[in-house]
Chains A and B, each alone.
Chain A
Amino acid sequence: MNGMNDDLLLCAGIDKSYNGPQVLSGVDFSLRRGEIHSLVGENGAGKSTLVKILTGVTQRDRGSMVFDGREIPLEHGRTAAQALGIAVIYQELSLIHGMTVAQNIFLTREPLLPGLRLIDRGKMNRMAQELIDRYGFRLRATDVIDGLSIGQRQTVEILKALSGKASLMIMDEPTSSLTAAESAQLFEIIRLLKARGITVLYISHRMEEVYQLSDRVTVLRDGRKVAVLEREQISPAEIIRLMIGRSLTGRESGNRMVRSSGEPVLEVEGLCAEGRLVDITFQVRRGEVLGFGGLVGSGRTELMRTIYGIDPFQAGRIRYLGKPYVPSVARSIAGGYGFVPEERRLQGIMGGLSITGNIGIANLDASSGRFGLVSGGKELDHARQAITLLNVKPADPDIPVGNLSGGNQQKVVVGKWLIRDLKLLIVDEPTVGIDIGAKEEMYQTLRRLADSGVAVIIVSSDLAELTRLSDRILVLRKGRIVREFAEGTVTEEDVLMASSGILQEVPP
């Protein structure tokens, strides 16, 4: 049954390190022809590195790889992977707007008119439509990308891969931006691919999807393969237990939640925002670190943006410092909010500007004097204060923030709020892409702020970070708060179970 011919991919003893830390150690991994195989693990478990190795984006240090009976050399590049039939459907879609479905599918491989270097549009459209019809997708070759839904665009991505005769299709969190109906359609497509003999490697944090779809599941933890589960062994609770693991590091002992007795800083009641948030009620108190858990796409970031005043809401009430409050970014900042966005490079820093410039822009009120003139001296003082408070390196206020390391960039983004009379700090993913040392400093900073009476809200996909840092945890799922951990001991497993909607399987 499990003869060599059944295996599309066989990896053995894969090692990989990025200048130092070992990301993958001795990973064995196999894919059978025509199976739907899920790859699961916490953030940082090594999933994306493994995918990058398969697709030739990065190279493994050691280990053998056999694809379709062929030995793959260590220096395996992106073009080589494509030629072998390994295709990836990217999270951030790579289609070109303004072009049709057919144009996107055959981009750079357009059929040409005989003897001419001109594109044979009619033939291209016919080829695309044939492909679409073969899989029974609801699309027309001549549809323009701009008019398609996210789900349909994903279908075009899949078609693009199929036109290149893919035998392995890798999907990385494909449902994170899809509606429930679109997800259901995608699952149909995935099963269709399977029926046509195409192997699908499915990566998702959503346990119910993994459970619904998979023929087999490989679980990674801390760069090692922990288990491969066969269809009949798969249960969401079991996968989560394997992902979190039982180690002697004390992770399973969890962290104690502490109820804060400070007066409420922000009170949210029945907040609803079209298609994103449903009936959200919570409060955060002085001196408390409130953590928000949940999967990507569960509405955590949307909630933060709404209470800060970036996005509007349709129903519900917000009270800030005891008074009714309608957030707008300018009002929030003036009133003592601080906000550290999710995507540091795109939303947090102004890379070309100096540390002083980045910190100054949020503190113009404090540095402006008579006639609206800004005092450069005060701005420099602010920058120096923030640099000292957070130990930014190098401690040069003139250096462009884009030249700093990720950790120091994040310190600047946090720092601009710390020199203000801060009452509420919202931090979305406090430590993504920053090194261990800077992480530790960030944790201490946030704790110190809370101890000084600031209400701190954090959103984190890093469960260890979330349980360690929070005094209280709220778990969001599909735009609702589904669980509060306010007392007793909470483990990473508890939070992940709640995020995945399998509360009932939590042992008492």
Chain B
Amino acid sequence: MIAHTRLRRLLAGSRLFLILILMMAGLSLLSDRFLTLDNLTNVLWSVCLIGIMCSGAIYAPITGGIDLSVASIAALSGIVLNALMNGAGLNLVLSLAITLGFGLLIGLVNGIVTTRFKVPAFIVTMAAKTYLFGLAMYISKGDQITIMKPRAFLAIGIGKWLGVPFPIYIMAALAVASHILLKHTGFGRRAIAVGANEVAAKLSGVDPDRTRILVYILSAGTAAVAGIVMASLTQQAYAMNAGGYELDVITAIVVGGTSLMGGSGSVAGALTGAVMVGFINNGLNLLNMPASYHPLATGLVILAALILNQGMSLPRTLIRWMARLRPSA
């Protein structure tokens, strides 16, 4: 009995990984350029920003919430960093620290509005997405600002160590930290409990509001880190950067097996999800598919992956959602 449940859980956990392996095998058969170190590094590089954001953003769905403001926070962070570094002339470390602090502050605001004023996270973070984008436009005057200095800053995005780009290390470090936080700390336990049953968690000594506020701070924090990396990588600060990334982040998290209803989550899954989305795009390029078909193909492949990964539970989830939407008689 015990062995049986364990085995089933292990299989369920690795199903996504199997899909990924299958996808890679298929792509390597279709294109001989696919399975090269250069190409694989390229894919990882392209999914870095999503991966970094996922490691913090995953906690919102785990508690039954959502964070739609991560892309705006990332874009704004690049602009703020440039303004501090090249506008106000502060040194790099101080500029980075202030930018990161600013990001955390945005998360604090999101968290406080959701918990204290009882506004659904969906609405709060959607509003934040809009006004933070507005703030980014205001500070940058809508310009695409090119960043050419300082050199140390540019190294964050394009530097390499042992042939692997720095952003991949940053993603790996954050993902490992997030995994440990989720699976091996009291905070992770409390986040899962709040998502599973807030009232029961509260009666067991969890402070749901405190937990939620921390969740949105984390989410905004990793978004700010992603913004810094992105500014360095693209050598520009622009309000439109990262546009739509919040949906890629949520897609990766959901493909990775985290339920939007709360109570469970997997950082490794979210990362696998992000890599999978990266491979899909990469594969379409390698197969010389016209760019105008990409979104259509990506969407369909994601849908297929979701259904394969969820097995029986996706239809059941949908039915539960429909039942919720229908007013109880």
Interface residues of A (CB under 8 A from B): 94, 96, 308, 310, 329-330, 333-334, 339, 341, 346-353, 357, 360-362, 364, 368, 372-374, 376, 394, 396, 398-399, 416
B6 near A350: Cβ-Cβ < 8 Å:
no
Whole-angstrom CA separation of A96 from B200 in the bound complex: 26
Q: B179 contacts the other chain (Cβ, under 8 Å)?
A: no
Q: Which of B180, B192, B193, B196 has the most CB of A within 10 A?
A: B196
B196 near A396: Cβ-Cβ < 8 Å:
no
Q: B329 contacts the other chain (Cβ, under 8 Å)?
A: yes
- With contacts A347-B200, A352-B263, A361-B190 taken as known, whether A333 is within 8 angstroms of B205 at the C-beta atoms is yes
Of A94, A339, A372, the contact of B203 (CB 8 Å cutoff): A339
A351 near B1: Cβ-Cβ < 8 Å:
no
B189 near A350: Cβ-Cβ < 8 Å:
no
A350 near B200: Cβ-Cβ < 8 Å:
yes
A361 near B264: Cβ-Cβ < 8 Å:
no
B203 near A374: Cβ-Cβ < 8 Å:
no
B190 near A398: Cβ-Cβ < 8 Å:
no
A372 near B197: Cβ-Cβ < 8 Å:
no
- With contacts A94-B328, A396-B1, A398-B2 taken as known, whether A352 is within 8 angstroms of B196 at the C-beta atoms is yes
Enumerate chain B residues within 8 angstroms of A329, measured Cβ to Cβ: 202-203, 205
Q: B36 contacts the other chain (Cβ, under 8 Å)?
A: no
Minimum CB–CB distance for A492 against chain B, Å: 30
Minimum CB–CB distance for B264 against chain A, Å: 7
Q: Which of B300-329 contact A (CB under 8 A)?
A: 327-329
Q: Which of B65-79 contact A (CB under 8 A)?
A: none
B205 near A374: Cβ-Cβ < 8 Å:
no
Of A330, A333, A350, the contact of B263 (CB 8 Å cutoff): A350
Interface residues of B (CB under 8 A from A): 1-2, 5-6, 9, 180, 183-190, 192-193, 196-197, 199-207, 263-264, 327-329
Minimum CB–CB distance for A195 against chain B, Å: 30
A361 near B201: Cβ-Cβ < 8 Å:
yes
Whole-angstrom CA separation of A6 from B161 in the bound complex: 94
- With contacts A352-B264, A373-B184, A374-B186 taken as known, whether A362 is within 8 angstroms of B196 at the C-beta atoms is no
- With contacts A349-B197, A352-B196, A361-B193 taken as known, whether A398 is within 8 angstroms of B6 at the C-beta atoms is yes
B184 near A364: Cβ-Cβ < 8 Å:
no
Whole-angstrom CA separation of A350 from B206 in the bound complex: 13
Whole-angstrom CA separation of A96 from B202 in the bound complex: 28
B6 near A361: Cβ-Cβ < 8 Å:
no
Minimum CB–CB distance for B11 against chain A, Å: 14
Enumerate chain B residues within 8 angstroms of A308, measured Cβ to Cβ: 203
For B261, the closest partner residue in chain A by CB is: A352
A396 near B186: Cβ-Cβ < 8 Å:
no
Enumerate chain B residues within 8 angstroms of A330, measured Cβ to Cβ: 205, 207
Whole-angstrom CA separation of A347 from B202 in the bound complex: 9
Minimum CB–CB distance for B199 against chain A, Å: 5
B2 near A349: Cβ-Cβ < 8 Å:
no
- With contacts A350-B197, A352-B264, A353-B196 taken as known, whether A398 is within 8 angstroms of B203 at the C-beta atoms is no
